């Protein structure tokens, strides 16, 4: 079994921290599509019509109608990278399924492991037949303990919302794993790694820690992010669209608990002097270049102004590593949390760039994002539409490092998301032909140029992405049809040189492969270094010299201390690794109607499934089903032949009984419900055939009558691929 181990930590020393890239010089040769991987054919999508809140259920076979928007899979904070893994969340379609799903893709091996969670999309206000695009699935990975965190299927729910109280005990949905789950082998990447509640379900009504239960009410838009120390934080909005506040909380990997929420702003702002209207906010909080930063657009409860929804662009930052204090606007002017009045941190007004002054004619929704380069260039993009004159403006607002004010340009190609790597900016999106494009510009400028554009191949409806280590990980839904549509991952190399140092805490990825078969002692340790240098690896008292990569074989099961000396430097990378003993293939094969359910408990994936001597498929899933008929032989083999196999001959009739038995001559046989007719023969003790007839199965039963036959022992033969005999005694 393969595992990845994180480095033993000292002060400021951690492995594989996921942060925004901050390299200072970038040169480009060619941006290329490195790989495209199909994640599933069954990503949930709302393919129906926009309906009202009281829409009736048209049935699970009808198109999936929705209340707000069409998108639910490959949406929100749905993709993260950690080490050589890409994690993606999705709902499984179609309309009658809706399960929360988590897929992990291994970039090195090309394998995937997927976990199905019990929870199903509950739809708008707990009406599952009305899709709810707010109810995304966010994922966070803590690099300090390897835990996985999921928040899902929420839109400001509480015991009183919906008003019928149907979510009184289900308004917050949180799942989290035990430590080091992020890097377990594919076969171990299962639902059992997620902590269960008292009802044996991996869904929790709160995050463990000191925050009061009341803090978990009325929350929407979950997002996870990390600071430079690898600490995991979570941001959500409490309240509604025009009376909402941002609040964030930090995870403590040492205790496995979350702290207390910090409120960025407050609800009911109009209760404060000088503030006429309540307001909510749409945006994001990020940690960039050693600072917490927050950018948003505001939605006011004033329904008489020219703005239909949002207005303004707002930006602030904090030098405080707790983010509780030290907040400033872009001019460096300080303010305290919680914020009541957003005007002091306002950057600009997109509504000033269109002509209309009529009520509710300035439409500002979507196309908003922001980032900060390594050089402290602040960049914000937004979009505004004049509904009176049918004019749309795409705006790029930026403040070069050292400048005192922002510049807004209307000469901007447009995009929904903005990213940075070093001092470069990237806009990644879909063209009008529904294929991927990438624009880049130098930080502090508006000089965007196209560096990549797909002109052929697959077309996509939408997607979300993550940029890490010079690569774009674009999680996309194909432009298809139905409530279950294909999801893909595109990995695009930005051709950014990634500087590495031999003493960098993330210089090494350590992989361990346990013994393949019991008693062989053939465990393997693989060291992959980023920086080329002279190293000495020491394990079990033996030294191994290498310059970049090293494979150490024939290791017996056990726990080892591994240290890698950086020759010429006063620095060691130290790890604790475990070579696991080989497992035998164990599990259960259960028959249900005309299929079997296979549950593998131990054994190395992939598993080969064979029916009647013919291979059906290979799978990394530990739980799967196979269609069968009576008499079929099912074999399940692990990757290693020495781990044995699981076998079962399918007998639909193994539990068939005659009742009453003994009988006076009139009795019934209980037959599997899926059978409509059955051929039966009755023999006496002398093997003489006395009855031969095709019977109709009625509600799972067949009635036989041998009242006219002498007392004695009889045998009922069920004619099938493998005949079954049932002994009947007539008294």
Active site residues: 134
Say how far apart CA 37 and CA 475 lie, in whole Å: 10
Tally Cβ neighbours within 10 Å of residue 390. 7
- CA-based angle 529:535:539, to the nearest 5? 95
- The single residue listed with the structure tokens 């992989």 is 511
Say how far apart CA 610 and CA 524 lie, in whole Å: 30
DSSP state of 442: E
DSSP state of 95: T
Length of the chain as a residue count: 731
Residues 307 and 300: beta-carbon distance below 8 Å:
yes
Residues 448 and 441: beta-carbon distance below 8 Å:
yes
Residues 223 and 234: beta-carbon distance below 8 Å:
yes
Q: Quick one: 332 exposed, middle or buried, by C-beta within 10 A (0-12, 13-18, 19+)?
A: exposed
Residues 535 and 567: beta-carbon distance below 8 Å:
yes
- The two beta strands, 130-131 and 65-66, are parallel
Tally Cβ neighbours within 10 Å of residue 682. 19
CA dist list (Å): 77 to 99, 149, 221, 692: 17, 12, 9, 65
CA dist list (Å): 236 to 53, 417, 511, 603, 697: 24, 19, 35, 40, 57
Helical H segments across 281-424, by residue range: none
List the beta strands (DSSP E) in 479-622. Answer: 484-493, 508-513, 523-529, 535-539, 542-546, 549-555, 558-566, 572-579, 586-592, 595-602, 607-611, 614-619
CA dist list (Å): 75 to 95, 98, 222, 437, 476: 17, 15, 12, 18, 9
DSSP state of 146: T
DSSP state of 212: -
Say how far apart CA 172 and CA 153 lie, in whole Å: 8
Say how far apart CA 400 and CA 407 lie, in whole Å: 9
Question: Residue 668: CB partners within 8 Å, gap ≥ 6?
Answer: 658, 659, 701, 702, 703, 704
- CA-based angle 529:107:422, to the nearest 5? 65
Tally Cβ neighbours within 10 Å of residue 128. 17
CA dist list (Å): 627 to 610, 613, 621, 674: 12, 15, 16, 13
Say how far apart CA 185 and CA 516 lie, in whole Å: 13
Say how far apart CA 450 and CA 501 lie, in whole Å: 32
Cα–Cα nearest to 621, from 100, 108, 104, 149 = 104
């Amino acid at each position: 079994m393969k595992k990845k181990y994180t480095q033993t930590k000292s002060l400021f020393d951690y492995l594989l921290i996921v942060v925004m890239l901050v390299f200072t010089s970038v040169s480009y040769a060619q941006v290329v599509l490195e790989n495209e991987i199909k994640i599933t054919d069954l990503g949930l999508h709302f393919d129906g019509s926009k309906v009202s809140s009281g829409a009736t259920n048209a049935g699970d076979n009808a198109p999936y109608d929705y209340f707000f928007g069409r998108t639910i899979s490959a949406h929100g904070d749905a993709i993260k990278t950690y080490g050589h893994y890409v994690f993606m969340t999705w709902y499984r379609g179609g309309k009658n399924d809706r399960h929360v799903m988590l897929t992990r893709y291994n970039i090195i091996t090309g394998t995937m492991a997927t976990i199905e969670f019990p929870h199903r999309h509950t739809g708008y206000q707990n009406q599952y037949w009305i899709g709810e695009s707010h109810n995304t699935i966010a994922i966070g990975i803590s690099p300090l303990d390897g835990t996985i965190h999921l928040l899902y299927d929420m839109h400001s729910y509480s015991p009183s919302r919906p008003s019928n109280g149907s979510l009184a005990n289900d308004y917050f949905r949180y799942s989290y794993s035990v430590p080091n789950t992020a890097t377990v082998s594919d076969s171990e990447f299962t639902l059992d790694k997620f902590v269960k509640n008292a009802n044996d379900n991996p869904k929790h009504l709160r995050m463990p820690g000191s925050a009061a239960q009341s803090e978990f009410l009325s929350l929407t838009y979950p997002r996870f992010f990390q600071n430079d120390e690898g600490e995991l934080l979570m941001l959500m909005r409490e309240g509604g669209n025009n009376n909402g506040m941002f609040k964030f909380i930090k995870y403590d990997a040492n205790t496995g608990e979350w702290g207390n929420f910090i409120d960025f702003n407050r609800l009911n702002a109009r209760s404060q002097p000088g503030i006429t209207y309540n307001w909510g906010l749409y945006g994001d909080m990020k940690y960039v270049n050693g600072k917490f930063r927050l950018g948003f657009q505001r939605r006011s409860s004033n329904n008489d102004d020219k703005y239909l929804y949002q207005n303004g662009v707002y930006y602030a930052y904090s030098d405080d590593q707790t983010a509780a204090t030290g907040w400033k606007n872009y001019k460096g002017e300080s303010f305290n949390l919680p914020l009541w009045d957003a005007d002091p941190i306002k950057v600009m007004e997109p509504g000033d760039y269109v002509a209309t002054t009529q009520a509710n004619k300035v439409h500002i929704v979507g196309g908003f994002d922001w980032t900060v380069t390594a050089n402290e260039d602040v960049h914000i993009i937004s979009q505004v539409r004049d509904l009176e004159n049918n004019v749309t403006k795409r705006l790029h607002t930026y403040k070069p490092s050292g400048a005192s004010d922002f510049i807004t340009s209307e000469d901007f190609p447009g995009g929904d998301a903005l990213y940075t790597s070093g001092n470069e900016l990237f806009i990644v999106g879909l063209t009008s032909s529904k294929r991927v494009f990438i624009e880049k510009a130098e930080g502090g400028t508006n000089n965007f140029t196209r560096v990549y554009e797909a002109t052929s191949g697959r077309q996509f409806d939408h997607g979300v992405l993550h940029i890490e280590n010079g690569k774009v990980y674009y999680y996309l839904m194909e432009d298809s049809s139905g409530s279950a549509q294909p999801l893909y991952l595109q990995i695009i190399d930005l051709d950014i040189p990634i500087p590495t140092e031999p003493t960098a805490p993330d210089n090494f990825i350590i992989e361990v492969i346990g013994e393949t078969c019991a008693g062989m002692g053939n465990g393997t340790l693989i060291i992959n270094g980023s920086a080329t240098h002279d190293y000495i690896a020491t394990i079990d008292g033996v030294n191994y010299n290498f310059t970049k990569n090293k494979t150490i074989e024939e290791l017996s099961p056990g726990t080892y201390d591994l240290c890698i000396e950086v020759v010429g430097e006063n620095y060691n990378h130290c790890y604790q690794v475990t070579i696991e003993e080989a497992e035998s293939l164990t599990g259960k094969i259960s028959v249900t109607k005309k299929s079997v359910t296979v549950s593998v408990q131990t054994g190395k994936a992939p598993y080969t499934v064979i029916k009647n001597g013919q291979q059906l498929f290979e799978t990394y899933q530990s739980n799967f089903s196979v269609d069968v008929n009576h008499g079929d032989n099912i074999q399940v083999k692990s990757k290693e032949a020495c781990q044995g196999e699981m076998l079962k001959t399918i007998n639909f009739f193994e539990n068939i009984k005659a009742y009453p038995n003994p009988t006076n001559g009139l009795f019934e046989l209980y037959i599997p419900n899926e059978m409509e007719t059955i051929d039966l023969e009755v023999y006496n003790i002398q093997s003489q055939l006395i009855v031969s007839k095709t019977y109709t199965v009625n509600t799972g039963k067949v009635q036989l009558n041998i009242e006219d036959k002498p007392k004695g022992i009889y045998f009922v033969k069920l004619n099938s691929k493998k005949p079954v005999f049932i002994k009947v005694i007539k008294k």
